[in-house]
Structure 1
Amino acid sequence: MSTGGAAFPPPQGSPPKLPPLRDVIARHGLNARHALGQHFLLDGNLTDRIVREAGDLTGRHVIEIGPGPGGLTRSILASNAASVTAIELDRRAIGAIQELAETADGRLRVIEADALRIDCASLTPAPRQIIANLPYNVASPLLVGWLRRAAAFERLTLMFQQEVAERICATPASAAYGRLSVLSQWLCDTRMVTRIPPAAFTPPPKVWSAVVAMVPHPAQPEPDLFARMERLTAATFGQRRKMLRGSLRSLGGEALLHQADIAPERRAETLTIAEFDRLARLLP
């Protein structure tokens, strides 16, 4: 498992002296809210490690989701990133991040918005990356939305609950392999790069977290093919206990499987990414 540590160019000048993150949280009344899936990562060594996993950020425009008090934001700003765009829904956190923006020499822009309702790729020029400690309650739908536009991003370095990270990186025939595995690996090279214990967060969640690095493949499917893959994976993994002849009945059943040279007695979790791709391309 990689933990980064590669040597990159020095950051763009010495950062200003910033107040402790716990002071920022107290001053803005920024107690983490369960309803928003908030768990703040305040350890600068860990946030620096996450940013290193994104590679050399020189000239890159970084988008961060849910910055909270700004721990990860500080580490991104300490890199050579050309700009950082922070999207935050919690108005209490907006004040905290605006304070940080005032020290960032114009490199940090703060947008108050719901990340599920915004086109992240439209916010910055290329090359663009997303680096984020994602709110647990919306991490999967956020990822699927970005995967629809995977070609727009150079890399995504994202923290999830470990269970979700394992699903993203799972191999066929494993217990975690499912719809998220297929969509992610069909479109990206995916690696789980580090695990983070609950005690690292404020407040501590009940589960471990993990960071996944995702690099979109050079060739990406057209939107119509992506929509077909979504239908295919929803049908097969929505009834994963069934043989494919049953789970795919509404999409062509045995005739479709015969055309793809896939045995109808198999189940979804046994199919490779290449076999899912073959099936999706045959769907009407």
Structure 2
Amino acid sequence: MNFDGLPPLREVIEHYGLQAKKALGQNFLLDLNLTGKIARTAGDLSQAIVIEVGPGPGGLTRALLSHGAKKVIAIEKDERCLAALDAISQHYPGRLEVIAGDALKTDFSQLAPAGSLVRIVANLPYNVGTELLVRWLTVKDWPPFYQSMTLMFQREVAQRIVAEPGSNAYGRLGVLAGWRTQAQIAFDLPPQAFTPPPKVTSSVVHLVPRTEPLHADVNRLGRLTEAAFGQRRKMLRQSLKALGGEALLEKAGIDPTRRAETLSVGEFIRLANAI
């Protein structure tokens, strides 16, 4: 038995036949010290409803509950994992709700009652992590339904989220995250912490929404960053041709010969508002 009175995760995986599936982007984190560290990074959970995506055998779920989360709502696509999660639910009566379904088809803003303190904490499946983050960064209503996000990504993706203008990693993700949140890499996890070990280092990113980000239309900013970074080696007058090119840049007071990675988040907002 472990500190929480439940069986070790390796035994859980063996008992329920939960070998990780590559098609689902699964890499299970079995080290309960590390899952505990993720839970602590998310902050005070005692009043929080925590939304978790892809709990798998429940390592992070257990850490969140043992670190005092008021309630955890876990969305799991892999039906093989439901029995293992049900055992955790019975161990923590009334504090774990498991939704069997696809996170990409879930309306996260409707999961918790209005006015709840919501934190999103997840070891995101590699194949849907970036798409989910972009959706959470571009929700229509702001401030959003969540108070913070503590998410695990491949280190390369994490670096793109926190990237500053002028760096090679700076792109659409860096603009969106920098516009609406304060994001930082909390810590890294080596491949051997997972089963099966991925080929890359992973990083936990903590994002806190800005209360009053600069005003911009989400869809315009999305189109703009996609066009600008889709041809990042080209001058902006060329890469933004379809959106107004040189005339648009002059309207926003930006030199048409500059390249996308040199623009600050504020300059991207100015451009989006000039479209």
Give TM class, smaller chain: over 0.9
User: Which residue is 1:183 aligned to?
Assistant: 176
User: Which residue is 1:233 aligned to?
Assistant: 225
Taking the aligned partners of 2:40 and 2:90, their CA distance within structure 1 comes to 24
Q: If the length of structure 2 is used for normalisation, what is the TM-score? A: 0.95
User: Which residue is 2:83 aligned to?
Assistant: 95
Change (3 A) 1:159 1:67: same
2:40 equivalent among 35, 39, 52: 52
Deviation at 1:255, TM superposition (A): 1.1
What amino acid does structure 2 have at the position aligned with 1:101? S
Q: Which runs of 5+ in 2 are unaligned?
A: none
User: Which residue is 2:124 aligned to?
Assistant: 134
Deviation per CA, 1:136-168: give whole Å up to 9, x if none.
Answer: 111110111111226111000000000000000
Please state if 1:282 is matched with 2:268: no
Count of paired positions: 268
Deviation per CA, 1:16-69: give whole Å up to 9, x if none.
Answer: 510111111011110001111100001111011111111111211000000011
User: Which residue is 1:11 aligned to?
Assistant: none
Taking the aligned partners of 1:164 and 1:29, their CA distance within structure 2 comes to 30
Identical amino acids, percent of aligned pairs: 54
What amino acid does structure 2 have at the position aligned with 1:168? I
2:104 equivalent among 111, 116, 121: 116
What amino acid does structure 2 have at the position aligned with 1:171? E
For the aligned residue pairs, the C-alpha RMSD in angstroms reads 1.3
The question of whether the paired residues in 2 share the 8 Å contact of 1:129 and 1:154 is answered with: yes
Taking the aligned partners of 2:4 and 2:148, their CA distance within structure 1 comes to 28
What amino acid does structure 2 have at the position aligned with 1:189? Q
The question of whether the paired residues in 2 share the 8 Å contact of 1:16 and 1:103 is answered with: no
What amino acid does structure 1 have at the position aligned with 2:260? A
The question of whether the paired residues in 2 share the 8 Å contact of 1:60 and 1:127 is answered with: yes
Greater CA deviation, 108-117 or 251-260? 251-260
User: Which residue is 1:8 aligned to?
Assistant: none
The question of whether the paired residues in 1 share the 8 Å contact of 2:214 and 2:266 is answered with: no
Matches within 5 A, 1:54-203: 54-125=42-113, 126-149=116-139, 151-203=144-196
Deviation at 1:80, TM superposition (A): 2.4
Give the 3-state SS of the residue equivalent to 1:136 in structure 2: coil
Please state if 1:207 is matched with 2:211: no
Deviation at 1:241, TM superposition (A): 1.3
2:249 equivalent among 254, 257, 266: 257
Taking the aligned partners of 1:281 and 1:78, their CA distance within structure 2 comes to 46
Change (3 A) 1:117 1:221: farther
What amino acid does structure 2 have at the position aligned with 1:204? P
Taking the aligned partners of 1:49 and 1:185, their CA distance within structure 2 comes to 25
Give the 3-state SS of the residue equivalent to 1:152 in structure 2: coil
Large movers: runs of 4+ above 6 Å: none
Please state if 1:31 is matched with 2:26: no
What amino acid does structure 2 have at the position aligned with 1:79? H
Q: If the length of structure 1 is used for normalisation, what is the TM-score? A: 0.92
User: Which residue is 1:272 aligned to?
Assistant: 264
Change (3 A) 1:233 1:275: same
Q: Which runs of 5+ in 1 are unaligned?
A: 1-14
Deviation at 1:82, TM superposition (A): 1.4
Deviation at 1:221, TM superposition (A): 6.9
Taking the aligned partners of 1:121 and 1:50, their CA distance within structure 2 comes to 23
Taking the aligned partners of 1:221 and 1:146, their CA distance within structure 2 comes to 17
The question of whether the paired residues in 1 share the 8 Å contact of 2:236 and 2:258 is answered with: yes
Taking the aligned partners of 1:220 and 1:146, their CA distance within structure 2 comes to 15
